[in-house]
Amino acid sequence: MAKTPVLTPRADDFPRWYQDLIGKAELADNGPVRGTMVIRPYGYGLWERMQAEMDARIKETGTQNAYFPLLIPESYLTREADHVEGFAPELAVVTHGGGHRLEEPAVVRPTSETIVNDYFSKWIQSYRDLPLLINQWANVVRWELRPRLFLRTSEFLWQEGHTAHATYEEARDFAAHVHRRVYEDFLRTVLALDVVPGRKTAKERFAGAVNTLTLEGMMGDGKAVQMATSHELGQNFARAFRTRYLSREGRQELVWQTSWGSTTRMIGALVMAHGDDDGLRVPPRLAHIQVVVLAIKDDASVLARVREVGDRLRAAGLRVRVDDHTDVPFGRRAVDWELKGVPVRVEIGPRDLENGTAMLVRRIPGGKEPVALDQLASVLPGILDEDQALLLAQSRERRESRTAEVSTIGEAVEAASAGGWARIPWAVLGEEGESKLAEHAVTVRCLVAEDGSVPEADDAPGNVAVVARAY
């Protein structure tokens, strides 16, 4: 007898499958104010691991964490023309505080370039104060009319880096460094996503930037998600906020800046990239629960053994949860952990104890086999490494097999509409072609150089546009 699917199958309705999974795996709920979300403990556990892995990489670049205020005077946003144009339609505005109408309304930060520059202009005096490398972990609000949990929410959590440098070259190189060493490294080695690094077109650039670098990931339905971006801001904000330094030569010079961000939308992308019809599959290096040890039934020696195995695996350096909630039927708990995508289940019942074994169930490749209890701690690390590599290989295989090389705009639209990516020479597409794609809800995700590297200019010869539908 075929089992009733717990989730809408992906092939039937991918967006519905996503929504089902987010709810049933207890990742998040919709909030009461339009477009906001509640991140539930299992979803937040994923975010905590993302934070820990990213934060270590951010600190390795020499960047320090700080915290800037949530509320920004409305007038700050208007100082950089492109910036205000980009963000004005998305702002949440505080008009009353402490029972009174405010003299100047405050916006809830949609991003912090303006308020950061207000302080950079005070803190930076001379070349000795540069580079200034700051990051913050914070919430931001961008009013969202078509919300989708994690992917598009009116409030989301993120990190935003803000740096100031003495020269254009240093700023450019730092943006690229963060992009490669923080974002790409994290996305590949921890999230197991075969992302494509590239450069945004002028149309897709961050409001106020002179260049935006991006990492694009392919989801299970062939659409794209922008995973993280790193911007060269040139001197746009420095000019608006007079962020200047005294050079070695004794001249007042504007600083050159970068900003870079990644958000809780990475959780949504994780689901869409690695999930299957049974639920989420969490890459072992990311997982806050790598192994769940389940008691099959309420039996004193089973419970004792389950706890003891949990302790032993923890001592071996694994992240372990013991599930001894035997008042809930075993089958339901097994399905729940499958939905949540915990890489390995270790199931122990009375018969297993007799044999001195446990049933080891692997979520990522699928399949189960008995393993001697005293072998668990030694075999699991290798299994988790294998599964991590498998997810990355599947991500690469999907991207390669579903990316078409095309030479006309029509072919590009066709490929994207069929659920895939297309690569088309930028010289063929151009900004006019980009507008035509937009009529079909297809966008240029990024420009890449012929050799796969990130181009130094939009119009560098040989540039290829990667186009797709996107979340």
The stretch near a second copy (CB under 8 A) out of 5-13, 69-77, 188-196, 252-260 is 69-77
CB under 8 Å to 376, separation ≥6 — which residues? 309, 312, 313, 346, 358, 360
Phi, psi dihedrals of residue 341, rounded to the nearest 5°: 75, 20
Residues in the chain: 471
Beta-strand pair 252-254/320-323: unpaired
SS3 129: helix
Q: Is 461 in the site for a second copy (CB under 8 A)?
A: no
Q: Is 98 in the site for a second copy (CB under 8 A)?
A: yes
Q: How far is the CB of 376 from a second copy (least distance, A)?
A: 24
Among 360, 369, 363, 358, smallest CA distance to 388 is for 363
Tokens of 125: 């005096």
Among 141, 242, 202, smallest CA distance to 431 is for 202
Which residue in the set 8, 23, 57, 88 belongs to the binding site for a second copy (CB under 8 A)? 88
Contacts to a second copy from residues 37-56, by CB under 8 A: 37-41, 43-45, 47-48
Contacts 24+ apart (CB under 8 A), 318-322: 318/290, 318/291, 318/377, 318/380, 318/381, 318/384, 319/287, 319/288, 319/289, 319/290, 319/291, 320/289, 320/290, 320/291, 320/292, 320/293, 321/289, 321/291, 321/292, 321/293, 322/292, 322/293, 322/295
Q: How far is the CB of 217 from a second copy (least distance, A)?
A: 23
Furthest-apart CA atoms within the chain: distance in Å: 81
Which residue in the set 56, 125, 139, 418 belongs to the binding site for a second copy (CB under 8 A)? 139
* # residues near a second copy by CB under 8 A: 59
Q: How far is the CB of 88 from a second copy (least distance, A)?
A: 7
- Contact code string over 328-357 relative to a second copy, x by CB under 8 A: x-----------------------------
Q: How far is the CB of 155 from a second copy (least distance, A)?
A: 5
Q: Is 164 in the site for a second copy (CB under 8 A)?
A: no
Nearer to a second copy, 73 or 425 (CB): 73
Q: How far is the CB of 91 from a second copy (least distance, A)?
A: 7
Q: How far is the CB of 64 from a second copy (least distance, A)?
A: 4
Q: Is 128 in the site for a second copy (CB under 8 A)?
A: yes
- Contact code string over 102-121 relative to a second copy, x by CB under 8 A: ----x-x------x--xx--
Beta-strand pair 291-295/344-348: parallel
Among 268, 232, 217, smallest CA distance to 446 is for 217
Nearer to a second copy, 142 or 469 (CB): 142
Tokens of 106: 């405050």
**Contact positions toward a second copy, by CB under 8 A?**
29, 31-34, 36-41, 43-45, 47-48, 64-73, 76, 88-99, 106, 108, 115, 118-119, 122, 128, 134, 138-139, 141, 143-145, 154-155, 157, 325, 327-328
